[in-house]
Amino acid sequence: MSASTAQTSTIATGFADPVIAAQANFHAAMTALSRPGTVTTLSAGLIAPEPLTAELAAVALTLADHETTLWLDPALAASAEVVAYLRFHTGVRIVAKPRDAAFALVVDLAGMPALSAFAQGTDEYPDRSTTIIAAVQSLDAGRHLELAGPGIAERASLSLDPWPSNLTAELAANRAQFPRGIDLVFVSAGRVAALPRTTSVSEG
């Protein structure tokens, strides 16, 4: 009895229906990446251990498994519960260096390393780069960004809070080295948006 109580207190539950939930979450992420600026619904459908948000956990459980590497920002890596939760549900390999990661989970966007610290891919294999999944407070308040590029009919915009002051310039450098580059997925409570490497971002 006491053993099972200890068990449940260490590892929180994942998706109730992994097949259907993973499809719905993937579809939301696919829509967000193919139509930058579009904010779509992401019904996480799980409870994640603090400081991991339910939406970050949902994207991680949808995309990560034993074939992928994952980097956690210091706030997440410091939590043994978060590490145990992700290892148990995905079997993912957690790496210490951002450069080795296929995915990166970030809860503290302001403290995130420079984009250039993550895997950029190579000219031959630009797909071998890091996808950053970052939790933000809001996807419709805060810094207003004007977006252009593939996936956008004419112009699109996105507002993000928080928005580190250096990130706009870093994204311009990221865009300039296309096809190499980082893709960013942002999640807030029940919602997801994305800035793939093709999007040019300006502060409006």
Partner 1 sequence: MNAAANAQSTGYNFAYLDEQTKRMIRRAILKAIAIPGYQVPFASREMPMPYGWGTGGVQVTAAIIGPDDVLKVIDQGSDDTTNAVSIRKFFAKTAGVETTTETKRATIIQTRHRIPERELTAKQTIVFQVPIPEPLRFLEPRETETRKLHALADYGLMHVKLYEDIARHGHIATTYDYPVEVAGRYVMNPSPTPKFDNPKMDMSPALQLFGAGREKRIYAVPPFTKVRSLDFEDHPFKVQTFDTPCALCGVENVYLDEVVLDDRGGRMFVCSDSDFCEERRAEGHRGELSGEEPAFLKTAPAVEGEAT
Amino acid at 98: P
Q: How far is the CB of 194 from partner 1 (least distance, A)?
A: 9
Q: Which of 84, 117, 152, 189 binds partner 1 (CB under 8 A)?
A: 152
Q: Which of 9, 23, 116, 137 binds partner 1 (CB under 8 A)?
A: 23
172 makes contact with partner 1 (CB under 8 A) = no
For partner 1, the closer CB: 38 or 168: 38
For partner 1, the closer CB: 20 or 47: 20
> Residues 189, 60, 126, CA angle at the centre, nearest 5°?
115
Q: Candidates 6-14, 44-52, 124-132, 163-171 — which segment interacts with partner 1 by CB under 8 A?
A: 124-132
124 makes contact with partner 1 (CB under 8 A) = yes
Amino acid at 159: S
Start-end of H helices in 38-161: 54-63, 74-77, 80-90
Distances (CA, A) of 92 to 17, 66, 78, 127, 170: 20, 5, 17, 19, 28
What is the x/- site pattern for partner 1, positions 25-44, by CB under 8 A? -xx-xx--xxx---------
Which token pair is 50? 């603090």
Cis-peptide into 98, omega within 30 deg: no
For partner 1, the closer CB: 34 or 166: 34
16 makes contact with partner 1 (CB under 8 A) = no
- Considering only residues 76 through 115, tell me which ones interact with partner 1, judged by CB under 8 A: 102
Locus of tokens 């990130």? 167
136 DSSP 8-state letter = -
Distances (CA, A) of 15 to 8, 20, 46, 47, 122: 15, 9, 5, 9, 35
Q: Which of 111, 150, 190, 204 binds partner 1 (CB under 8 A)?
A: 150
Residues that bind partner 1 (CB under 8 A): 18-20, 22-24, 26-27, 29-30, 33-35, 62-65, 67-68, 102, 122-127, 131, 149-153, 178-179, 181, 183, 196-198
